[in-house]
Structure 1
């Protein structure tokens, strides 16, 4: 018994000694931790003080939303207005650094993705990289990625991306032009340009994104999108203007009207003579006879038709320039399309007949090898500008077709047409074969009045009479038998949208 008790006591004593050693070790660890934390906090304070710029950049990076962001963060104009000049200068400098770092990081990820994806298909088909390169031709449908409500009052008549893909403009029933920064704001326009005489039927960016041309009632307007100032305003027609467009070279502006004419204006003359620097005045029906009179100081370069020449017999709805500004095509309610040669001072070249009802829209592709028009019956006709007879007649729409646009394709002889209208369908067509590639069901609660595709061929916007502006993301098809191809394409698209991995 004595040996057993002694053994237990010895064991208990060793346990106590072990506990004391552990306690002493833990105390030392805690002391070391406190010292480390103290040193660490001092170091962090020094680092934080020395790297304020980096923290600001990190904050900007953190603000990038995976679902909504397509590019680097934008600068809020309201925030800049509140700053002093010195603070504003520092803010802009830091923002430029953050944007540069963002693009550098995105380029690095993209290069890494290409390296990973560029592998040959062992079955003899295309590699993943080749499939992605062909993706703009292969798109068959679109997925809604963002919706803005209350775009322009009771209805939106037109919408357009700028060339850099960072801003959208819409026009509509509320007599204003709304400018949107879709990847920097949530549901509110960045700026509204007000002061138009009537409904804003159509507006478009200049090729350099420095000006906006807009038509309203019988007047034309030119705005500066950066600060919202009115550069020019003049009375252009004797009746309602139905559309306007900036030429691809930026030299001309065309407008078309219910007075049976279309007019081509010099952009430089319009800005210099069209009441430059005029103050913005809000028009009301009862104050049209005030000091804000119409300004007629801008002479047109060409009036179509020329004097003594026969043109359209009904209201001209739309007009479009060729890629090199060599000709203009006008579409009217008399079911005709007319080509006007600008190299011969606006003489009539060809008349295109094929529609049985009023032509509502006209589009020309990026190399002027094809035209497309749509009418009141829903029919779409594809034309060769050199031939007066239709190339393809597309009858898939069951109601009025308001929208027909071309997607800019990288390869010659290939392309797509996107159409939409009263039946709520967004259709994708093969330009040269005249076949239906795919269809997307609209999420508008009313008919679609306008659409536009950005220069990357990845984002489509639509506007409708429900005052919604919807951004659509393209959905590329992948071979169903190869799941790895589908995963690879989805992975690449995430990188294109600026997602973090």
Structure 2
């Protein structure tokens, strides 16, 4: 089994903090996600996470006007410059202070950062495509200017359209106008008059007006006018001119405060987000309200507008919401929300296309792997959901919850069709489903019994007694014969629940059982215990065959309150979740640690360790103790600094009076890193982990750019085409094309092979290339319009190499799944096309009997028909129907729907042409 898994995507979290960005063309949205940045493609409905990661949570991101460079800055001022198209990190840089604002100039040559009260202007690092001379700078970051003058943190920076001036809005109640370079007659200007800190300041399209917005909901219009009393004494210079407030507007939102705002100069749109989850859209300069809408249950932290002014993006950090709203049609373009609490478990769907996650917030979310979006959320559970599992056949999902219910979900109709409960109220902590989908078993921490239900009837069939402690894990054998349970009584039991005598075989262990996993062949089980041991047992003999100590492998990282080294900290030296790989050769294990371990089952050797996170904003990622963060009152990260916040709403204590736990809806200040669930994909090419950071997906990169086989000097594209066109040796040409592995050349050779020679070519095709040919044909079946041609290739491959494919099912499992998906998609397309057009053809054929037009009635001799004469409406409908059938057969599978009138008119026109051509 290959072990070179690499991070590929991050799901489960869509927005944490910081600012949102639209790409220059307005089709992509950039969102900070913890210490990473996720890109949402709003047109193609896909998302991906950039491969780099910061050491702290990202606080600010900026994008050049060309969209090729992304500058992301974390809470400590550490910046990473990334090439967006190539997804490559170019440079690391430190601003040494916390960055509060960031903005690139429209010219793309400068950017401004707000470092507390100070402003710094920097040159944008040059790239080969942006530097005319083609010479790269040795120092990518060069400071141009430094401006001081504000008395509090800078909140927002906005450039003029000509990149000569920029505005800065600060918490010191003022906005200031700065020039990029010295301008004749210009002095930096202060715009004061607000009563609370400013949220933003913007230039109008003609740059004759400036709009400033403050937290108390005041909007001021500033214009460059003559000073009062100087109207009659105007000189040629600007000494008698000044920026003055000409209009004051106010958002009337009762007790809500304004949290964020954004202005679109081209369309004069001002959008503002409030602390009660409302946002308002206004047209300036008259301040006409277009509409208001409630989009969140908590405050909106950031809002931005795309270049065209049609889409508004909102971020709400407390609930992890990310919304894109099209205000003209009043519809959502994107609506995503992560889990409010930590994820408890996860499972892959049987087809490997979706991942289901459960959480303490009582929600069940289904994530689409290809797009990276959550496609459905179930909220029927009233308490934390502890486990989830699919039935092996069909699209049925089972979940267990602390609310005392087991629920079955239909993922085709997206509904809860069965609920299972026990005689007394229990909080179920684990669950298992029989492979046939007929039996559900669940265990609880309140009762020592295992409850068994029938899926068909929903009745409680039995209660299995035998454990002397809470049941923590359950697992059915993949062949459906046995049930294994683990408990805190330091035993695991093997139950034969389908026999007349439901006997259990106890397996004695040295510590409490945390998790149990069955090998895919049902011959072995792995058990993880609290003392960090992994033991492997043969099911048939009920005896231990191997074991390993994972305490040293899993331990790592010190929590913020630890006073000792990570090697001596208790509670992090065990695996709380384990899973076998698809082929059963490896075991994946994770726990209350930042490491995921991959073990070989045969050699009992640690193959690889994956680091979940290096984010220092999460407790448990530091290796060494930082003494400067320890104070007399305890660790600095655990001190309550809420009362020292500068804003009134941040100082308010919302904890419940008399409650020791505080407000249940309040998140912990610093979460601890842990892995609550791991799972391998059915194909074995990827695995996912439910961690504090989110849903991490690691995969093996199958997109190999250049991987030649058996190359020599004679094999070139020119020689390949010569063999194809001159020698007509199709087998040799195809093998040479696969050796070069150039996509364009393979496609040219593939399509040039006559359909009559396909079986002969496939029969003599070398076995080493069969998997590659199958993968290529499967991809062509999904993309190419040559449907029958691709089907002939698939049939020939199955006929000639069926025995090899069966023997090497594990190697070509992915290719076979792609083939099956392509065939299913093709079948649906053909069925849909036939259903749409069969009635049209019947209608056209029925017109013959309806009109009852014959040659004798019209006295029309077809043999003496003159094509130069003008055609009337009378013609033979059999010709129409026959031409329509031929035309429909030639249509590609991706043909869009046509109206009946279009079909009839096209049929008439084509039938006339057919008639003329026949004569």
Q: TM-score, normalised by structure 2?
A: 0.28
- CA offset at residue 230 of structure 1? 1.2
Q: Relative to structure 1, is the Cα distance of residues 193 and 203 closer, same or farther in structure 2, using a 3 angstrom cutoff? A: farther
Q: Determine the structure 1 residue equivalent to 2:247.
A: 350
Alignment of 1:226-237 (within 5 A): 226=125, 227-237=140-150
Specify the alignment match of 1:206 in structure 2: 105
Q: What's the counterpart of residue 302 of structure 1?
A: 189
- 1:51-85 deviation digits (Å, cap 9, x = unpaired): xxxxxxxxxxxxxxxx99xxxxxxxxxxxxxxxxx
Alignment correspondent of 2:911: none
Deviation per CA, 1:138-189, whole angstroms, max 9, x where unpaired?
A: 96884212334534x4332222221111011223311244322123344xx4
**Structure 2 portions without partners, runs of 5+:** 1-7, 10-40, 126-139, 227-241, 342-614, 619-692, 694-828, 837-890, 897-919
Structure 2 CA distance for aligned equivalents of residues 194 and 397 of structure 1? 35
* Other-structure match for 1:216: 115
Q: 1:338 to 1:171 in 2, by over 3 A?
A: farther
Pairwise CA distance, 1:443:
5.9
Kept in 2, the 8 Å contact 1:328–1:342? The answer is no
Partner of 2:455: none
- Larger relative contact order, structure 1 or 2 (CA cutoff 8 Å, min sep 6): 1
Whether 2:52 is the aligned partner of 1:170: answer: no
Task: Name which of 83, 94, 97 aligns with 1:181.
Answer: 83
2:297 is matched with: 398
Q: Deviations over 1:334-353 (max 9, x none)?
A: 12222222466321133332
1:328 and 2:213 aligned: no
Structure 2: distance between partners of 1:262 and 1:327 = 14
Quote how far apart the aligned CAs of 1:324 are: 3.0
What is the distance in 1 between the residues matched to 2:91 and 2:249? Answer: 40
- The 3-state SS of whatever aligns with 2:65 is coil
Equivalent residue of 1:200, what SS? coil
Query: Deviations for 1:372-422, whole angstroms, at most 9, x for unmatched residues?
Result: 11122221110110223422112112212122222223xxxx722222222
- Superposed structure 1 runs of 4+ greater than 4 Å apart: 138-142, 442-446, 464-468, 480-489
Deviations 1:354-386 (A, max 9, x none): 244332322222513311111222211101102
Residues 330, 362 of structure 1: 8 Å contact kept: no
Q: Is the 8 A contact 2:100 2:153 kept in 1?
A: no
* Aligned mates of 2:895, 2:313 — CA distance in 1: 26
- The one of 261, 269, 293 equivalent to 1:370 is 269
- Which structure features the higher share of strand residues? 2
Contact 1:207–1:250 under 8 Å retained in 2: yes
For 1:251, which of 164, 178, 191 is the aligned residue?
164
Hey, what does 2:46 align to over in structure 1? 143
User: Aligned residue for 1:339?
Assistant: 221
User: Could you tell me which of 152, 157, 160 is aligned with 2:59?
Assistant: 157
Task: Give, in whole Å, the separation in 1 of the partners of 2:219 and 2:123.
Answer: 33
Does residue 1:425 correspond to 2:321, yes or no?
Answer: yes
Describe the superposition over 1:402-460 as per-residue Cα deviations: whole angstroms up to 9, x where unpaired: 22222223xxxx72222222232222223345x233333256989xxxxxxxxxxxxxx
Residues 236, 244 of structure 1: alpha-carbon distance in 2 compared, 3 angstrom cutoff: farther
Q: Deviations over 1:228-251 (max 9, x none)?
A: 111111213112222212222212
State how 1:263-282 maps to structure 2 within 5 Å: 263-269=176-182
**Given that residues 241 and 257 in structure 1 are in contact (C-alpha distance below 8 angstroms), is that contact kept between their aligned partners in structure 2?**
yes
Name the CA distance, whole Å, in 1 between partners of 2:893 and 2:48: 19
CA distance in 1, matches of 2:76, 2:279: 30
The 2-side partners of 1:171 and 1:349 are apart by 38
CA contact (8 A) 1:157 1:202 kept: no
Q: What CA distance in whole angstroms lies between the structure 2 residues aligned with 1:334 and 1:401? A: 15
1:257-296 CA-to-partner distances (Å, cap 9, x unmatched) read 12111101111139x9xxxxxxxxxxxxxxxxxxxxxxxx
* Alpha-carbon distance change, 139 to 195 in structure 1, aligned in 2, over 3 angstroms: closer
Aligned equivalents of 1:144 and 1:331: distance in 2?
A: 33
Task: For 2:892 and 2:221, locate their aligned partners in 1 and report how far apart those are by CA, in whole Å.
Answer: 45
Show the counterpart of 1:262.
Answer: 175
Find the aligned partners of 2:123 and 2:895 in 1 and give their Cα distance: 42
Secondary structure of the equivalent of 2:62? strand
**Inter-partner Cα distance in structure 2 for 1:312 and 1:158:** 26
Measure the CA separation in 2 of the matches of 1:158 and 1:321. Answer: 22
Partners of 1:243 and 1:317 within 8 A in 2: yes
CA positional deviation for 1:325: 2.1
Query: Which whole-Å CA distance do the structure 1 matches of 2:265 and 2:616 have between them?
Result: 28
Distance of aligned partners of 1:312 and 1:465 in 2 relative to their CA distance in 1, 3 Å threshold: farther
SS in 2 for 1:401: coil
- 1:439 and 2:342 equivalent? no
1:225 aligns with 2:127: no
- Counterpart Cα distance in 2 of 1:465 and 1:322: 41
| 1:336–1:351 Cα contact (<8 Å) kept | yes
Is the Cα contact below 8 Å between 1:331 and 1:360 reproduced in 2? no
1:194 & 1:465 partners in 2: Cα distance? Answer: 16
Any idea what SS the aligned residue of 2:182 has? helix
In the alignment, is the contact (CA less than 8 A) between 2:321 and 2:338 conserved in 1?
Answer: no
- Cα deviation code 1:7-27 (max 9, x no counterpart): xxxxxxxxxxxxxxxxxxxxx
TM-score of the superposed pair, with normalisation by structure 1: 0.50
Partner residue of 2:286? 387
Q: Does 1:316 align with 2:198?
A: yes
2:204–2:268 CA contact under 8 A, matched in 1: no
Q: Secondary structure of the residue that 2:100 maps to in structure 1?
A: strand
Separation in structure 2 between the aligned mates of residue 239 and residue 245 of structure 1, nearest angstrom: 17
Contact 2:67/2:84 (<8 A) preserved: no
1:419 and 1:398 mapped to 2: Cα distance?
13
CA distance in 2, matches of 1:340, 1:148: 44
1:486/1:191 Cα in 2 relative to 1: closer, same or farther (>3 Å)?
farther
